[in-house]
Amino acid sequence: MEIKSVLFVCLGNICRSPLGDGILRRKIKERGLQLTVDSAGTANYHIGKGPDERMVATAKKRGTDIAFLRARQFSAKDFRDFDLIYVMDKSNYSNVIRLAENEAQRNKVRLALDELFPGEEQEVPDPYYGGQDGFDHVYELMDQVTDKIILKIKN
Ligand code: 4NP
């Protein structure tokens, strides 16, 4: 299957998923590739807000701009609009899967860290209530995940 669009999903759409979104957008642009990239949250708390300032600063330090992104809530329409839906943790997974209408839609959903640790069901930890280490760690993980996604879409 040719992959034309990728959506990242977390809880608030202000930390983990906008980071994945911004890093992948940058890499797609740098490499002259074609891919629609977006992100969403399962919760409605932060709709319309920009990403968390700690995540914005962490990304900026590594040359990734995410400040322009705005939070939105995941909806069933996203199953039609996106080929792959990468969720950050198992809680996001259940919340997204609950809105799927058929097997084809369920098959689009995967844990982001399955790209690095297939079958291990690892989660991208929520950095929201922690310190700077957590934000740096999420950057490392999403940097690697987005590299894997690039390889996948080129094949
Ligand atoms: P995210 O992080 O899901 O990576 O965007 C969070 C952001 C906000 C909250 C929780 C997680 N919150 O509870 O407000």
pTM of the prediction? 0.98
| CA–centroid distance, residue 24 to ligand 1 (Å) | 20
What stretches of 73-154 show up as alpha helix (H) in DSSP?
Answer: 78-81, 90-97, 103-106, 132-154
pLDDT in tens, 11-51: 999 999 999 999 999 999 999 999 999 999 999 999 999 99
Is 126 assigned a catalytic role? yes
Report whether residue 13 contacts ligand 1, using a CB cutoff of 6 Å: yes
pLDDT in tens, 43-73: 999 999 999 999 999 999 999 999 999 999 9
* Strand 84-87 to 109-111 pairing: parallel
What's the chain's average pLDDT? 97
Q: Is the dihedral of CA 32, 60, 93, 81 positive or negative?
A: negative
Is 25 assigned a catalytic role? no
Is 16 assigned a catalytic role? yes
Structural domain boundaries of the chain? 5-154
Where does 5-154 sit in CATH, by number? Answer: 3.40.50.2300
Q: What is the mean pLDDT of residues 138-143?
A: 98
Among 9, 10, 93, the mutation site with the greatest number of ligand 1 atoms within 8 A of its Cβ is 10
Residue nearest ligand 1's atom 8 by CA: 12
* pLDDT(155) > 80: no
Q: At what angle do helices 53-61 and 16-31 cross, to 10 degrees?
A: 30
